[in-house]
Amino acid sequence: MINNMIFFQFIFIISMTLCSMAKQSKSPNIIFILTDDQGYGDMAVHGHPYLETPNMDRLHSESVRFDRFYVSPSCSPTRAALMTGMHEFRNGVTHTVQPREKLYKGALTIADILKEGGYKTGFVGKWHLGNDKGYAPQYRGFDWYAKNAKGPHNHFDVEMIRNGKRFQTKGFREDAFFDEAMTFMKEAGEQPFFLYLCTYSPHTPLGAPEDLLKKYKAKGLNDNHAAYLAMIENIDDNLGRLDQFLKKENLYDDTILIFMNDNGVTVGLDVYNADMRGPKCTIWEGGTRAFSLWRWPKKWQPKTVENLTAHLDVLPTLCELAGVDVPEKVQGELEGYSLSPLLNGKDWEHNNRLLFHNVGRWPSGTAAAHKNAMCGIRKGNFLLVHSQGCEDPICEKYPSQCTTLRNVAKGFKHATYTKTNAQFHWGVSEGWQLYDVKKDPSNLNDLANAHPELVDELKQAYSKWWDKQFPVMVKRGGDEGNPDANKRGKK
């Protein structure tokens, strides 16, 4: 009897040890949240004078904070780079309108890779990389998806579509998105999951819960600014709700949470921009700087990281964290680096990297003329900018970013996102200008004359990069379409 008891105790201890080891070796769950048109400065912890964002602020305090993190100047390009680890131009994504928002079909996404590595992959919200067959999320590696009918145009009581089936919801749209996120996580069961949750807020058209609207109107803000900030606070409320869910479901400690925005500020530009120059769709500092918060409880120590990092780094980082190899097909075109050493407090080998920006959004068929129109190159804390419109007469026939710069050159004070500060935020540069963006986020002190060798190095690097990317970009659809498509308006 005693020997049997000892035997069963031994078996029990071995079983518990194996279960514990299995739990520890399980790949982490990953939640990636991307907000739409929220600026770097649009949270209280970044100094905003009106916003109340206690959950974002708490996440900020709990995270590894990449404070010199950059994305693309607008929405679809950023998403293309995030999903593939390739610059958006290599993906053929140079605009936010058809057909140039469509992600190149030959590209493997992070969802493709993680799914192959054993992850349950789910998408919720705004995709904006093509909704046709072969382009929508369910064709790009996501085996579970939920979106709302009519996209950004419905704010309340939206009709959701989950894996092809429609159903009605009550309440605000982003609340429904987070509800769907929780449904996906429950359905994942014991399988590790990757959730890509993309809000429409605070992108226009504007709309928000009435209590939050009243709150920000009472602070003296106009209707648009109040609605914009109210939409952000609603996201904050949902972040708090998500954390409660993760703790209730015992998922909190084993889940990596990443929170990021997709481009520079929009409607809130004239309220606050963290002392930066430029909104979305500009080449100035404020056009592409993003907040990037990464939390893995009990694994990473909260800290601020100031290395030059970017959306290109997300795919290789998540693959390494998930223990999944980057496929050979992807390795040949990968332009990002794993952030794992920085997350774990170690040295990084890529501090001399270069990042290349071009606003794109040219009228279709005019790509070649826009090589040096609204472009920039980053190295360390330096940004070399060329903020000028192109000289192609065809471009002048269509509304584009060049149109805005031509108007600014004529003295216009009003432009997209700003009522009176177009000369500053959409400023036209005098040739190539160089800035130390850490010391001078407002881009006021041009250092080009003080560092001619650096200017020449960055110009040559950009030209070489463009010449290499250009034929790939054109082949993959980056200059396709009727230029009249631009008249449908900006997204």
Contact criterion met (CB below 8 Å) for 263 and 74? yes
Strands 355-358 and 64-66: unpaired
- Residue 228: φ, ψ to 5°: -60, -50
CB 201 within 8 A of CB 231: yes
Tens of each residue's pLDDT in the chain, 491 residues: 445 555 445 444 444 433 433 344 589 999 999 999 999 999 999 999 999 999 999 999 999 999 999 999 999 999 999 999 999 999 999 999 999 999 999 999 999 999 999 999 999 999 999 999 999 999 999 999 999 999 999 999 999 999 999 999 999 999 999 999 999 999 999 999 999 999 999 999 999 999 999 999 999 999 999 999 999 999 999 999 999 999 999 999 999 999 999 999 999 999 999 999 999 999 999 999 999 999 999 999 999 999 999 999 999 999 999 999 999 989 999 999 999 999 999 999 999 999 999 999 999 999 999 999 999 999 999 999 999 999 899 999 999 999 999 999 999 999 999 999 999 999 999 999 999 999 999 999 999 999 999 999 999 999 999 999 999 999 999 999 987 755 544 44
CATH topology of domain 355-488: Arylsulfatase, C-terminal domain (3.30.1120)
Q: How far apart are CA 131 and CA 159, in angstroms?
A: 17
Measure the CA–CA gap between 343 and 317, rounded to whole angstroms: 10
Overall residue count recorded for the chain in this entry: 491
**pLDDT value, residue 272:** 98
Contact 194, 315 (CB under 8 A): no
Question: What is the pairing mode between strands 120-125 and 144-148?
Answer: parallel
> H or E segment at 466?
helix 452-475
- Cβ contacts of residue 75 below 8 Å, gap of 6+? 36, 37, 96, 128, 203, 262, 263, 491
Q: In CATH, which of 3.30.230.10, 3.30.499.10, 3.40.720.10, 3.40.630.30 is domain 28-343? A: 3.40.720.10
Tokens read off for 122: 């789910």
| Joined tokens for residue 118 | 């054993």
Span(s) in the chain for CATH 3.40.720.10: 28-343
Looking at residue 431, what DSSP letter applies?
S
The residue type found at 416 is: T
Q: Where are the alpha helices (DSSP H) in 308-449?
A: 314-322, 328-331, 340-343, 401-409, 422-425
- 74/42 Cα distance (integer angstroms): 17
Asked if residue 73 has a cis previous peptide bond (ω within 30° of 0), the answer is: no
Cβ contacts of 281 within 8 Å, gap of 6 or more: 73, 74, 263, 264, 287, 359, 361, 401, 416, 490
Count of beta carbons in the 10 Å neighbourhood of residue 170: 9
| DSSP helix/strand/coil, 69 | strand
**Residues in contact with 384: Cβ distance below 8 Å, sequence separation at least 6, in sequence order:** 376, 377, 378, 432, 433, 434, 448, 454, 455, 458, 459, 462
Give residue 26's pLDDT. 81
The tokens for 59 are 């996440």
Instruction: Give span(s): CATH 3.30.1120.10, the chain.
Output: 355-488
Q: With 0-12 CB in 10 A as exposed, 13-18 as middle and 19+ as buried, what is 37?
A: buried
